[in-house]
Amino acid sequence: MPFANILVCILVYVVGLWMADLVVTQTMQENVLEKERGVVGGVQNSLNMLIDMLKFALVIALPQIEIFGVHIILSFLFIFSAGLIFWYHAWRVVGRQCSKLCCS
């Protein structure tokens, strides 16, 4: 039974990651001018690789099993902060759209 739980958790994680990727792609297509998409996409890809490299550097720098909890906490904090940034952005966009509807 524990194996099934792990399998379901991995499946939910992968589906969530896939959905987040779709949201980022859709948001970029809707909000970035067509002539600037290559630049924005390149910067986004570079930042993704930088964060990925930071993750690898932390794993190499802190390989002790006792410090594994630090990796988990850092991962959670980064994901949580990304969620906060997303919700702030969504709140600003929805607020702007609501004010356009109310004032027009």
Those residues of the chain that have pLDDT short of 70 are 98-104
Q: Is residue 88 part of a domain?
A: yes
103 domain-assigned = yes
Whether 8 is in a domain gets the answer no
**pLDDT of res. 12:** 87
pLDDT at residue number 86: 82
Rounded to whole angstroms, the Cα distance separating 98 from 101 reads: 5
What range defines the domain where residue 92 resides? Answer: 65-104
Per the document, the length of the chain is: 104
User: What is the separation of C-alpha 68 from the centre of its chain, rounded to a whole number of angstroms?
Assistant: 22
- E runs forming strands in the chain: none
Q: How many domains does the chain have?
A: 1
DSSP 23-46: HHHHHHHHHS-GGGHHHHHHHHHH
- Domain assignment present for residue 51? The answer is no
> Is there a domain that residue 59 lies in?
no
From CA 49, how far away is CA 18, in angstroms rounded? 18
